[in-house]
Amino acid sequence: MRLDLFKNYYKKRGFDDKQTEAGIRALTRAEAMMIRQGSSLDQATIPQIRTLMDRWIEDQTNDSDSILALARYFYLTDRSDVYVYFTKLTGGIGVIDTIKTRFDTVMSPYQAKDFLIVQEPPLGSDPFVQPSFTAAFLAQLEAFTSEEQARAILCGNNHQLSAEQFQSEKSFYEASPSLDQYLKELHARKVKELQEHCDQNKVWFEQRITQDVVDFVALNQQLLSAIHQDGILYLTKIPYDPAAYLKETDPLKRQYLACHCPFVREAILKGKPKISKNWCYCSAGFEKFMFEVILDRPLTVEVIQSVLNGDPLCKFAIHMNP
């Protein structure tokens, strides 16, 4: 194991000694299990990681800090295949709890007391088990609410993004002569960022970036930015696996490769369970949050296309006027 690399990363990112030691313990536990399988952490395959996660779930040692420490280690050691798998396991951390909390802001406390008793799968569970939970969760939400209320509950900042991380964008916006110019410059900055990741062969979030991906994004300002028309921002979600998406010709597989959501994407290929596109209001809330920060006001959002509805990509309309 390359523990020095891990320690240096934690120090650079401002983790304290206690957090670093906990991360090292998680890596050491994982390494010991890999050795029992005749492997090592640096050589671990995704099936071996799946076995590890199942054991941690069984032992109730599947805490988020330990799983995130493993994800970070594979990112640092350039195991992008395993790191991307971990993004499927960790991408939904805290989302359901936040949605439950938002229920109280829309519905009365009396209604909330019996709300959402569906048990979420343990953290680190195989992605294939998530859609059944999501379908039951959403069905219960929709049974308790109107469609408008359900969408309002789902479209919050469910990933608990920090407003501080968008302060630089707010500064860019305030320095720009117009919203349209800001959006054009935002898109140019994102394309440049993708080009750098492509040239350096680095994973960008959970995505592998090829020149085809850079060119694809460069041709459409709605990707990683937006276009502004009559008080509405229109934006399109970049595919989860854009390199594979651009090569794929089968419409169903393209929908699967487009979907980012760990709660539903495995259901797309299987065709079941059927999950309403209302679930995509969670993703819509994620997309609108940055614009709420830079414009300094709450916004409403609409899902206008969804891969859950058979569309090739997810598209949103953010309404800036009351």
Per-residue pLDDT reduced to its tens digit, 126-164: 999 999 999 999 998 888 888 999 999 999 999 999 999
Token representation of residue 111: 């209604």
Q: Is 118 exposed, middle or buried (0-12, 13-18, 19+ CB in 10 A)?
A: middle
Question: What pLDDT is stored for residue 108 in this prediction?
Answer: 61
**Whole-structure pTM value:** 0.89
Give the whole-angstrom CA distance, residue 49 versus residue 42: 11
Give the separation between CA 127 and CA 19, rounded to whole angstroms: 27
* pLDDT score, position 313: 97
How far apart (Å, rounded) are the C-alpha atoms in residues 286 and 317? 13
pLDDT at 322: 66
Strands 227-229 and 232-236: antiparallel
**Position of tokens 């953010």?**
318
Side-chain half-sphere CA neighbours of 182 within 13 A: 17
Cα separation, 110 vs 229, whole angstroms: 41
pLDDT in tens, the chain (322 residues): 899 999 999 999 999 999 999 999 999 999 999 999 889 999 999 999 999 999 999 999 999 999 999 999 999 998 988 998 998 898 888 898 898 888 877 776 555 555 667 788 999 999 999 999 999 999 988 888 889 999 999 999 999 999 999 999 999 999 999 999 999 999 999 999 999 999 998 889 888 899 999 999 999 999 999 999 999 999 999 999 999 999 999 999 999 999 999 999 999 998 899 999 999 999 999 999 999 999 999 999 999 999 999 999 999 999 998 6
Residue 132 class from Cβ within 10 Å (0-12 exposed, 13-18 middle, 19+ buried)? Answer: middle
Take residue 300 and report the two structure tokens written for it.
């409403």
